[in-house]
Amino acid sequence: MKTSSASLPEQQQALRQRMHMQRALIAQLMQPIEPAPGDFPRSLTMRFFSEHPGLATRLLAQAATLVVGGRLLRTVSMALLLGRVVRSLTNQRG
């Protein structure tokens, strides 16, 4: 450790200044970097889905219909609808 001829209050002030400069540097380094306009999302597919959420939902529903089958999908939809009706009726009585 280096001995200094400066008085204790001068050493404290110098230390405070160094700490202040270091904190300012750390704060600057921790600032988020602004992304360029075309950076996120990178894939064209995700850009399409994020820019057109309604169309993406319809496409997903069509894909589910193809994979699962329209008849099963209608059955599940009907079961969910009946569940909502029953819950609504029980909530009205209670």
**Stated pTM of the model:** 0.33
Tens-place pLDDT, residues 25-49: 998 888 877 666 666 667 888 878 8
Burial of 68 (0-12, 13-18, 19+ CB in 10 A): exposed
What is the pLDDT at residue 38?
62
Query: What sign has the CA pseudo-torsion 34, 37, 39, 42?
Result: positive
Tens-place pLDDT, residues 61-72: 888 778 877 777
Among residues 36, 38, 34, 33, the alpha carbon closest in space to that of 51 is found at 38
Mean pLDDT score of the chain, rounded to an integer?
A: 82
Rounded distance between C-alpha atoms, residue 45 and residue 56, angstroms:
10
